Every structure is written in C-alpha cells, then in structure tokens.
Amino acid sequence: MEKISVFDIFKIGIGPSSSHTVGPWRAAQSFLRNFQLEHKLEEIKTLKITLFGSLAKTGVGHGTDKALVLGLSGCDLETFPVVEIESLWQKVRDTKKLTLLDKHTVSFEISKSIIFDLETVRFEHANTMDFSIETKAGISYQLTYLSLGGGFIVNTSSDEYEPEKQDIPYPVNKAADMLSWHVKENKNIVEISLANELEWRSKTEVNKSLDHLWTTMQQSIFDGCHASGLLPGGLKVQRRASGINQQLLSKSSYKSLQEWLVLLKNQNRDMATVTSWVSCFALAVNEQNASFGRIVTAPTNGSAGVIPAVMIYLQCFTENVEKSQLREFLLVAGEVGSIFKKGSTISAAAGGCQAEIGVSSAMAAAALTHCLGGNTRQVLMAAEIAMEHHLGLTCDPIGGLVQIPCIERNAMGAIKAITASQLALYSDPEKAIVSLDDVVATMWQTAQDMQTKYKETSEGGLAIQVRFTEC
C-alpha cells in the first residue's frame, strides 16, 4: 500500500503546472543527485533531456524548459525568488552554459539540450522524460522519470533516491478502509490522518508545516487580489481578481494581509457577495500560478485555487473558526486527496481535468464538511458528490497555457465544493446510492476511456476551437 503523507499531497511550489513545472524541476534535481551516488558532477561533459507525450506537446506553455533549467541549477522550489526566474533563464539561454546544482558549469544550449519529441509514443506515462549524461570519459548515464501529477515523480530505474517511509498504524487505500478504521477505532479522519503523520514527524513539526502551507495559500490569494495586468504567454488574458477585490471592498483602506482579512470578515454574507468573494479567491491563486508565482499544489498547480478559496471562505464567512480547524481542514483534504491518488490519478495528462479540479473540489468539500461539524460518513459523502459532478471533465488548455479554461474552473470547483458540503450536511449517508469508492473507480475508468487529445495535449476541445498563435 502506497504511503502518502498530507505533505506529499500539498507541496509549496511555483506555477504554472505541478506535472509540467514542479515535477520536471524535482526530477532534474533527483537525476543529478542519483548521478552523484556513483560519479562526480565534474565528470559531466554533456547533458540532455528529452520530453515525450503531454510534456512535449504543452511543455513550452507550461514552462517545462524553464523548470528543468532551474532544477538542474539547484534552485529550491520553496525559496527561490520567483522574480529571478526570467533573469536566470535568460542568462543560461544567452551564455549557453549551465551551472549544475550551483557547482559545476557545462555547455548547455537550451534548444539542443532540451528536446520536445512530438512523434515518439512512450507508454509508461503521458508525462515521460529521459535524462542522459555523457561523461568526459565517454560513459553514458541515463534515467527515465515520470511526472505523475501533483509534483509526484517516479524514477523508473530500481535505484530510488527517496527513502522508504516508516509503516503507519492506519493504512488507507480506499474510503472503505477509512470507514473501517473509523468503526474499529472510533476515530475520525483527522485523528487517523494525524496518527499516521506522527509516524514520520513530531506533532510540532506537523502543526508548523500545516501552518506554513496555509500562510503560503493566504499570501497567494492576497498577492493575486492585488496584481493587475496581462498574464504572460501571449494569450493576453486580463487578470480579474484585483478588479473584483476592489469592487467588493469599494473605498475601504488597509495596509496588510491581516487588515484585509478583518475587512473580509465584516463583509455582507448574502449569497451574491459570498460567491463573488469565493470566485475572486480562486481566480487570484490561479492568476498567480499562471504567472510563475509561488502557490501550494492542492493537489496540483492547475487546481491550486480551489482549496485556498474554500478555506478562506470558512475562515471569513463562517463563525468562530480556530487555527486548529484550519489545520484539520488540510489533514482531511490531504487524506481524501491520497485516496484519489491511489485509486485513480491526479494528473490531467492521464485523466483530464476531472483529475485536477474534480479531485481538489472533492478534497475541499470533504474538509469543509468536517470543519462544519459533519460526521465521517458525511465527509466522505461530500467528496463523492463533488467528484460525481466533475466526471468526464476534459483538459483542453488553449495554447498549452494554464489559463483558459483552467483559471475559471477553479472558481467553479470551489463553488461546487461548498454546494457538495451543504448537500452532505443535510443528508443521511446511509441512504446514499453512490459511495466515494464508486466514484473514484468510475473516474479512473472514465480517464482510461477518454480520448488522448482531451488529456492536456492542446489537441482537442477549446484548444483547437479557439485559434491562438503565441506572440
């Protein structure tokens, strides 16, 4: 049984894509670390990466080439200043040299060293990449990596860099396992998730990491609500979150994130106002994501706005929310996300957008239901309802950019999550006809039946209906 931590589902990263940006970035670093197990960086003469499938077809729009350069350079995903991405990229492009892990410089002409192979079909995964090195002594070294969505990567060789996680007391593969532990141990999802996490880190570390995730999410919302202009990439998409924020707050003044949150808590709670804010929050995060901003994969970059939008809705538009509840929100959401990861996919290249917005909406619905007092069965029911109404959602990004229809879909996913939670809280799960495990299995079957062109290739749907030529 795969051991997935909440902190595997939620990762702090840089946009615009977890599978096409974060995954390749992490794979590049892993490749060089594995190389160093047997060799020294100074032995490297040349290095080449070949991208296949969805990575080849939409990699430029997703910044895959930039991510690879940053990863090979040794830049840290969580701390590297996003404002320096373009300057580092231009330096490598202009000098045709790359300093690996900030230690050893090699010749690296981007157009020849990063190959977008649009013809070869690799059956391992839609997001497959080959890394190869030739040493000065003429030795060839190659590894193949798969980017599975959500920043998860797999090295297909037997030499894995990542150590095996310690066994956990409450292994969960399916929702049925969760219910079984709930009945046997009289524990809710938070208690089960936390007990598992405590096998890998201390309670203090868990809480600190959860708080850091939420702080990063809040900052991405705030930054997105105060940034204007056009998104990069040539599609000329206008940012909207800042304009909505200004209209809703009218002439209110504030100087910080905390002062802004106070104003939000004092907003009217009529349906029009609340839904406008929820949409604004979701748009804000994914406009940041589309601009190579720092966000939290939740469970992917393309769906990064759903969970923060629902969390800040909980914080600002419901009563008496404590910090502990926000931590519990992430624990529940992470546990539900892992069920989808194990039973289906969280990669749009493998399953369409149902695997991203659908999963994030299910995670948010479950977590919100828990925080609003729902029992374990209602929590799982909320996740089922949210996903059931995303089944079959395709991934057809115009121009290979995580902008249209991706950004608006986050707003839709957040609203659906809140609706699913409300339905579950007013329902009797014992009378439900469809289980969460049913919908996870259906999602995976739907993913397998879905035509490849609708899986993040920009070869179907809106991507070909709307003509776009990059400037």
Go through the domains of the chain in sequence order and give each one's CATH number: 15-155 (3.30.1330.90), 175-465 (no CATH)
Token pair of 266 as six digits: 């004092």
Instruction: Give the separation between CA 108 and CA 60, rounded to whole angstroms.
Output: 18
Place of tokens 């190659």: 142
Gap between the Cα atoms of 20 and 148, Å rounded: 10
Both tokens of 232, joined, read: 């990069």
Q: What is the model's pLDDT at position 251? A: 84
Q: What's the angle, vertex CA 294, arms to CA 404 and CA 20, rounded to 5?
A: 55
pLDDT of res. 437: 98
Within 10 angstroms of residue 158's Cβ, the number of other Cβ atoms is: 5
The 10 Å Cβ neighbour count of residue 281 is 32
- Rounded to two decimals, the pTM is 0.93
The 10 Å Cβ neighbour count of residue 137 is: 8
pLDDT averages per 10-residue partition of the chain, 471 residues: 90 92 95 94 96 92 94 94 94 96 95 95 90 96 94 78 76 97 97 97 98 98 97 95 97 95 96 98 98 96 97 96 97 98 95 97 98 98 98 96 97 98 97 97 98 95 82 39
In total, the chain counts a number of residues equal to: 471
Distances (CA, A) of 318 to 105, 286, 312, 375, 380: 54, 24, 10, 18, 21
**Predicted local distance difference test score (pLDDT) of residue 2:** 78
Instruction: Report the relative pairing of strands 140-149 and 152-155 from DSSP bridges.
Output: antiparallel
Q: How far is 260 from 264, CA to CA, in rounded Å?
A: 6
H helix intervals, 61-114: 64-73, 85-95, 110-113
